[in-house]
Structure 1
Amino acid sequence: MYKEIEAKVLGISFEDHSIQKLVTDNGSNKAILYKQFTPRAEIGNLILINTTATELKLGTGGWDIVRSHIHSDYWQSNECRGHIMKARYTPIQHSVLAVEAQESDYHQHFKGSFSLTGTPVWLAELHSMVPLFYYVLQEFNPGLKCCVIFDDQASLPLTMSDQLRKLEEQMHFYSISVGQAFGAQYEAITVASALQFATQVLKAEIILISVGPGVVGTGTRYGFTGMAQSHWSHTVSALNGKPIWIPRMSFADKRKRHNGISHHTLTPLCEFTFKPAILPIPYLQNHERQNVIDQLKSYQSQTSHHICFADDDCVSTVVEQVVKKSMLPIQTMGRKYEDDPVFFCAVAEALRVGLQLAE
């Protein structure tokens, strides 16, 4: 299915160097314009809007996407000396300067192999884990450089994320988009070269691999974007790093496959990950802990992973402080900390365990 409509720009609710958030008519109401491949709009302009996702009631936050202007003149965005194409062979294909490319100032760093030499690298299935991870890190150990590598399993244009725009204002935060994802501070072609760049050039002390907003799930055994976590884990292992999986956990989610420890963690970790990884589990009540133990026993793992159950609660106070101080609300699937504390504490506990390993 594809649906687009013609609409008029009634107002501009937000604008920065990368996007406009527009108020429109004709049933669209609100739409995002990406300046990277669409000229900025003025009030009164007629535009074409892709309404497919909102028509299907999918999780875009109610935003439609501006495709083009009607009756627009020839236009070219600011020049880029890179030749690596993102969104290839689509109407919005555009070139970026990838850090590995021959024309990049960083090209020389990628001519040899490199090793993570035991460095922990965290893996996060959901975009909502990213701001929480960074802000908790700054509470635990202020001033550590954190680099997040964004794979293309969810939103391709990262500028859609309000949280990411806020994070990129932070002094110690860096971002790299890989694959077909684009819009981070740096662009790379693969997760491996992004890890190399984060380690050798950015000198990041903490590295997280995640995605933009908008993961996909189908309620099936293998049909969800979180399956990519096994690929991330293997890449970290192949580079002699220590993959630390942030478990997706909830005791508020009514869906059985996501209650306790989600099958979005268990399936890719147990069935598809062939090198040992670390899975920290936050402090749980006795019945919750037993539930998670039973879930883990129900899976036949390909290798012996290191499952670390917390015997004490070392993170909830920090999480509560972070949630209160955050510039934007931190939620997951519409739930706040008080609705689903174990989800938030799972992120913080994974970070805490990894920091201990790094020491």
Structure 2
Amino acid sequence: MKTSMRMLGVGILLTTVGLAGCEKPPQEVVQRGYRGTGMEQVINPGTLDDMIARNQAPEAAPAVPATGPKAGDIYENVQVLGDLSVGEFTRLMASITEWVSPEEGCTYCHGNEGFAADDKYTKKVARVMIAMTQRANETWGATHTAPTGVTCYTCHRGNNVPEYVWVTEEAPMMPGSFATAPTGQNVADVAANGYASLPYDPFTPYLEGDADIRMAGDTALPTGNRKSIKQTEWTYSLMMHFSQSLGVNCTYCHNSRAFANWEQSPPTRVKAWHAIRMVRELNNEYVWETNDWLPEHRQGPSGDPQKIACNTCHQGAYKPLYGAPMLKDFPNLATQSAGSKKLIKVATESEKAPAAAMVGGG
């Protein structure tokens, strides 16, 4: 009898906790795809106002003419933005200060040796990050970042380091075991897997490496498809990260009647395909470029830099800053300058990715 009562008490407790974890109704539903396929986006009106407030772009500084002496001719050691006029250069520097270091000001990147000196690692990192932003807008604008584009503020939001970054973590020890978790499962992490029991680090294999994301076979029988359930769980973990980062359901990118079928998927799936490859490129070609300058407190346990993922830009919104068109006010970040191309030489395979590749991709 006591055992039964204890079990009943546990059941009531779990039910109460479960109900407490649910979002308060009523929810709003927006039809995003074919009727009858469950392609609906669920919106919580109770949290929407807060999300909108947290995703507001700052007011842009007044525009200045592009005429006059070039910054590279007037100032010393301007490697990336030397082709800007002095006015444009000053305006962009002031804006970057507001976006990245509003409390520290210019001294966050510039030390006691003068503005031209590279005595602080933050200045060298910022130079690469400007080149990375230009690359993201120019190379990936047509396929992912769109005309709205990205600026330093998209990720930083007034923080020296973006709030949402990741490093390759050591696999945690599992209870009752002498070894680490073989797949990194059963480690709760809202950003990585939405508190699921899925592998907690989908970033390293997919957003840094080029592991195969697509697990579904093309035939009824597993002819030629040797993908395992274990491998599939890593893909599911990445999909959970997408959902958490954008604040959307699976049907934002997939048709629920045929998840694997590209022809029946909405255009957002194509954007996500390019996003994965964009993030890989930016991590490997730009973020890793800064690692030799970083102090230990800016690195992970394995000595890697703090890298970007989907939530770095999106931060819970289906479009970063809900599509605020910041780039139109900062055209200097829209295309790669001669200095940024010279600073970072990137292979061009990703620019020429054929549309047919999407059929076999993630």
Do both share a fold (TM > 0.5)?
A: no
Q: Which has the higher contact order (CA 8 A, sep 6+)?
A: 2
Return the TM-score normalized by structure 1: 0.22
Q: Which has the higher strand share?
A: 1
**Structure with greater helix share of residues:** 2
Give me the TM-score of the superposition, normalised by structure 2. 0.22
Task: Look at both structures and tell me which one has the larger radius of gyration over its CA atoms.
Answer: 2
